[in-house]
Amino acid sequence: MNLFKYNYNNKRYHTLDYEYNKEFGCKIAKISLNGGFTCPNIDGMVGYGGCIYCSKLGSGDFAGNKEQNLVEQFYDIKKNIDKKWKNCKYIGYFQANTNTYAPLNILKEKYESILNIKDVVGLSISTRPDSISDEVLDYLEELNKKCYLTIELGLQTIHDKTSKLINRCHDLKCFDDMVKKLKKRNIRVVAHIINGLPYETKDMMIETAKHLNDIKIDGIKIHMLHILRDTAMEKLYLKEKFHVLTKEEYVDIVCDQLEYLHEDIVIHRLTGDPNIDDLVEPKWLTKKFVILNDIDKELRRRNSFQGFNRSILNKERAIIDKFVKYNDIVVDATVGNGYDILNLSNYVKAGYLFGFDIQDIAINNTKKLLDYNNITNYKLFNVGHENIYNILKDYNKKISLIIFNLGYLPGGNKNITTNFNTTIKAIDDSLKLLNNKGMILIVVYPGHDAGKKESDELKLYLNNINNKYKINYYYNTDNVIAPYLISIQQ
């Protein structure tokens, strides 16, 4: 399987380096700044005490020194960056506390002092969804036309019960409404979420990531909860000893979240950088590059990537990638427009391909596609797949894989569909053709009347033979009419 396309480093997710290089054609370095802002749930505007996990530096522990002016901060940090990367350009990152929480004239002065520096191409502004006034929105819209602007909004979780516990002092609707306002002005939005918040389950964390697809977020920063000294979170932890995720649990959850995120969403961060001197738990957070490497390893182990769970065909192809060998004999029992059998041809260069379809147009389209790609080790049959055994009986016990993609021909007549009677006969006969490690893969589409009937009857049939074969069902969404995958193995 090809690696994920939105990266330059063999990553399986949409890297920020890739996004910046696509935009600017060079290395971009973010310089973290402390603008001396406060926060509305610290000063009493919406609450007191701040978020219970937040450090005394307002989650800007590695930002510049607020005792210096912003330009001095920028150049001090730039000295170290220039030692690592030559000829790069810069984005000023307003990181600490809430960086739109001030009168407009002060915001303009601070932002533009950085934009006036040579080789600064944009700003990234971290803030809260309840802290961008309409006049600031108008200004940000103008700023977005002049530079590469990103607004980073703290969400942390979609679950209001958790939000109240951590003292966020805004709800999910507030966040969603601000995303809509920013997107209406074509401003990039990055959401911050935290895994491992007290009492949240794995499913709850995945639901938070899934929600960001629905509101069409541009980017995401995924953090693990830092329990820091002298915070309200530390007091809660010492009192209640809630579960802290292990590194293995965190890696598993992040990979699941990535699998659900749309491939266009840019991954700005997959773990945090706690101040080691202040860190109470988890201690494994100090090994940032180990965590990132473990995420890479887990995605490779799964043969997975960002957006994997958005199409059941990705799961089918991952199984094929792991299962099919160079000299295997394989069958596409519903060739359609030929894309599945073309994919199979990449795996069986020394083997052979057979294809079936009852529609002339499907056979013709598939032949053109295979011939155009110089595939010669194939034979197509313009008959229904219920004839599979009679035609291929000479290959009895020799076939490694048979795939079915049920439903109607994409782009064809939707009134011509596979039928449960002929499909079940074809599957029953296909089982006789498999070798002792053979597998059948079936993509089922219950989203139309004939498909729903076929799905129901197929499940009844498989239930009657599940004591003879290993049968697995794979669903990628909660949508009952979405396509799903079935595997049947000896």
Is 427 part of a structural domain of the chain?
Answer: yes
What token pair was written down for 402? 């048979």
Q: Which domain holds residue 390?
A: 312-489
Q: How many CB atoms lie within 10 A of CB 264?
A: 15
Q: pTM for the full model?
A: 0.86
Is 10 part of a structural domain of the chain?
Answer: no
d(CA 256, CA 247): 14
- Tell me which of 281, 307, 333 is where a domain ends: 307
pLDDT at 218 over 90: yes
Measured in whole angstroms, the distance separating CA 110 from the mean position of its chain's CA atoms is 34
Is 142 part of a structural domain of the chain?
Answer: yes
- Tell me which of 262, 286, 307 is where a domain ends: 307
20-54 pLDDT, tens digit per residue, is 999 999 999 999 999 999 999 888 888 888 888 98
pLDDT at 12: 94
- Tell me which of 245, 273, 307 is where a domain ends: 307
Q: How many domains does the chain have?
A: 2
pLDDT at 436: 93
Mean pLDDT throughout 79-85?
87
Same domain, residue pair 243 and 227? yes
Same domain, residue pair 299 and 420? no
User: How many residues appear in the chain?
Assistant: 490
Mean pLDDT throughout 92-104?
94
Same domain, residue pair 413 and 347? yes
HSE, side-chain direction, 13 A CA sphere, residue 407: 19
Same domain, residue pair 248 and 365? no
Confidence of residue 227 (pLDDT cuts 50, 70, 90): very high
Same domain, residue pair 31 and 98? yes
Q: Across all residues in the chain, what is the average pLDDT?
A: 93
Same domain, residue pair 35 and 150? yes
* CATH code assigned at 443: 3.40.50.150
Same domain, residue pair 187 and 253? yes
* CATH code assigned at 176: 3.80.30.30
Same domain, residue pair 284 and 348? no
Q: What are phi and psi of 311, to 5 degrees?
A: -145, 130
d(CA 183, CA 188): 7
pLDDT at 2: 46
